[in-house]
Structure 1
Amino acid sequence: MITSDNLEEYYIRIGRLKQRYLPERFEQDLPKFSSHPEAADWFRTLFLDNFIFVEVMEAAGTENYYQYDIIHDREIWERRQRDIREKGTANGLGMLLCAQRVDIYEDGSVHLAV
């Protein structure tokens, strides 16, 4: 079971900056959720202010899903957000791996970008 006490054990380090990233094993060990709110609340409890809502998307069927980011490097993430707002684009070392996308579906299923 994933808890705040063992969360660090799930992280791997990748890229030139050796940034933290949650691998597929994290997704496989997630609890089974029965709804989007239940899953989102669980992630919020675990990641606190580093779990942020991004947008609602429409799935191929008709079911919506909800995109969130888990912020792994707050400083780089804030710089990326500022660059996007001010310049319309962001690039630079570490920008891609500073956050990780999480899709949560209405039924509580979760897909983590890896």
Structure 2
Amino acid sequence: MITPDNLETYYVRIGRLKQRYLPERFEQELPVFGSHTEAADWFRSLFSGDFIFVEVMEAAGAQQYYQYDIIHDREIWERRQRDLKEKGTASGPGMLLCAQRVDIYEDGSVHLAV
């Protein structure tokens, strides 16, 4: 069971900056959620302000899903957001791995970008 106390054990470090990343094992050990709201609330309780809503998307069959990011490196993420806003693009060391995308479907199923 994933808890705040053992969350750190799920992270792996990848890339030349050795950034933290949640692997497929984390997704496989998630609780079973009954709805989007239940799943999003669980992630918010685990990651607090580092779990942020991105946008609502349409999946095949007109089912909606919700995209969120788990911010793994707040400093680089803020720089990326600032560059996107000011320059329309962001590049540089660590930009790609500073956050990890999470898709949550209406039925509570979850998919992490890995």
TM bin (shorter chain): over 0.9
Gaps of 5+ in 1: none
**Unpaired segments ≥5 residues, structure 2:** none
Q: What is the distance in 1 between the residues matched to 2:62 and 2:39?
A: 20
TM norm structure 1 = 1.00
| Residue 39 (structure 1) aligns with | 39
- Structure 1 moving runs of 4+ over 2 Å: none
State the distance in 1 between where 2:77 and 2:12 align.
18
Which residue of structure 2 aligns with residue 58 of structure 1? 58
Q: Residue 80 of structure 1: SS of its match in structure 2?
A: helix
Q: What CA deviation, in whole Å up to 9, does each residue of 1:18-64 have, x standing for no partner?
A: 00000000000000000000000000000000000000000011110
TM-score by length of 2: 1.00
Distance 1:79 1:60 in 2: 34
Distance 2:39 2:54 in 1: 15
Deviations 1:86-108 (CA, angstroms, capped at 9, x unpaired): 00000000000000000000000
User: Where in structure 2 are the equivalents of 1:46-85 lying within 5 Å?
Assistant: 46-85=46-85
Helix, strand or coil for the counterpart of 1:30?
A: coil
Question: Could you tell me which amino acid in structure 2 is paired with residue 25 of structure 1?
Answer: R
